[in-house]
Amino acid sequence: MENCLFCKIIHGEIPAKKVFEDEKIIAFDDINPQAPIHILIIPKEHFASLNEIPEEKKDVLSHVLLKARQIAREKGVAKSGYRIVLNTARDSGQEVFHIHFHLLGGRKMLWPPG
């Protein structure tokens, strides 16, 4: 998508501190971290939100979650605990309309989240 912030990061038009990349996803540090570890994980294919992913692309979701687990291990938060957050649509707090998952860790998470 031409004006999508995350698509521009994927294409190298905007810099990001990458922590992981493969053929399907990219993961990078959030520029406004809400925890000591705050990484955004996004599919390289543009989908505005979870509501936009067609059934035949469901493998993208499992790929993101399995790589999130790997990143959590690499960042040293897998054993102590981490949170995966997916906001869908405006009322949830989604601000960038390219599906993205927040991996948060490095501190005790509170409940309810907000």
Catalytic machinery residues? 100
| Cβ contacts of 113 within 8 Å, gap of 6 or more | 83, 85
The number of CA neighbours under 13 Å toward the Cβ of 29 is: 10
| Cβ contacts of 16 within 8 Å, gap of 6 or more | 9, 26, 28, 29
Q: How far apart are CA 71 and CA 41, in angstroms?
A: 10
